[in-house]
Chain A
Amino acid sequence: MKGSSSFETQKTLHPEGAEGPSRRAKGFLLLRMKSGFLALLCIFTCLAPAHAVEPDEVLDDPVLEERAREIGRELRCITCQSQSIDDSNAPLAKDLRIIVRERLVAGDSDEEVIAYVAERYGDYVRLKPAMRADTALLWLAPALALVGAVAGAFFYFRHLKRLEKTTPALNDDDEDLPEI
């Protein structure tokens, strides 16, 4: 009938009518799915890792290029000190990225390339501290702190248990309250 709303029509004419989801409800659900998907897409695009490597720096050999990117992530940019040279747009970072790639092409190992830069700029340039005698404490400190905490907890709870055992239990006298 002309006067009835499409909602009513759908409900009566559609074979599933009373039980399944109406077309309107389905449309609404689809819209929510689409906008949800769009939102997720936006979030993931924004999370995509950014880097400052320019096309003219990229090496032809993909294996070497990947090593160069990895080393770049481990070297600190001196002008923008909280960034790696892989992330930083500073001119010095670009120079260092080029040098890293040159040394890789010349055949240096990853550690040799990092050492080359550290020899000139100091260990501060390593974002991952070297594992050496003087940095051993730096590396082990978290593990030591955990062991210390666990040991402390162990001794504390054992102490509590001992207190429990030596504290005299209530004797029967306390239970005999005079009847009023």
Chain B
Amino acid sequence: MTGAALSGLAHPLLAEQLKQQDKQVLFVWIDGGMSQFESWDPKPNTQFGGPFRATSTSLPDVQISELMPRTAQQMHHLALVRSMHTQDNSHSAGVPRILRGDPKNRGVTYPYFGSAVAKLMGPGESKLPPYVWIKPGSGGFKHDAAGFLGPKFGALAFGDGQPPDNLLQPEELSGDEVELRQRIREFANSQFASGRRPANTEASSYVFDMASRLMARQDLFDATQLNPRDVQRYGEHEFGRHMLLGRRMLEAGVRFVQVTSYGWDTHGDNFNGHARLMPRFDQAFAAMIEDLSDRGMLEHVLVVCLSEFGRTPRINGHVGRDHWPESWSLAMAGTGIKRGIVEGRTNALGTAVESEEYDIGHMFHTWFQALGVDSTHIEYDNAGQPLPIAHDEHSPVSALLA
């Protein structure tokens, strides 16, 4: 397996180096489009500012929405980017474009950021699945995320934060019996793989390998092991539970943890919507940042929080905001990232970026650099086709890098 992984990069020795690093990623995906006005870039008392106030933060002269009082106290850990300008205002195309870093079209499907990190950096010492996705709704193995890397680098999704079905090992099986069954499976797989494309057979074997690793860590899903105080701090709602599980995954050494929240596409009743959505996000996100900091984990965990776009300044007749890739915000923290900064700005009304605009390709470069991956030199080797790991016309944002 190691040999197959190494062959996917143009510089195998470098690949080995990356795999030995202990860097991890927490990727918080707010699906639908969080409004930057009601979160990171408020414009109170302006034509498009909406009804809410802004609140001071732990960063002097920096304010965010009043709907995020707890995150406001963690701002000194965060790097906020207010000058995102991306290309797609639709969900269906926009979501994968953002998640894949919107690279140049070379006729291949690029991997999601999580799959890229799983490929470039491997599972780490824990050997747990390198890319897990904690999400509402369905779970399972999401191989599409891997693009041309091959299905093996897809995301293992825990639907509703639950472990995969049948994770529990039957009690009636002894350890020797389990080991024997594994050897039989591996033999059968090697026979099947002979003469077949490795990418597909590897994925099948990989899933079983990951399952066996997870079976040894069923405690991660055991709610009785949770500290009641943590449950209260993160919130007993869906996002709180999922973020707490995400923290446990990081503590267990999972390389890339994605936590998704759905329901943010507030074309109607945007303000009452964010009035209920934001406090729950705020509660769990702030608790996570606080905990990662307290545990010293911000030294090696990269935290990213974003949506596929922001929301329009213009308020429609359903008192909602529509899709807005023109000027929106995202936040990050942790390893390789400067702390307590705001990069970029919008104009007074929030209708345009006033400073240098950043596309998602800039962010991919920045995140790779923060993880110790030289995005400007490392390439994928897609069956002999060298491919940059991030948009080759973009570059890291040095102002964000520590």
Task: Indicate, yes or no, whether A interacts with B.
Answer: no
Interface residues of A (CB under 8 A from B): none
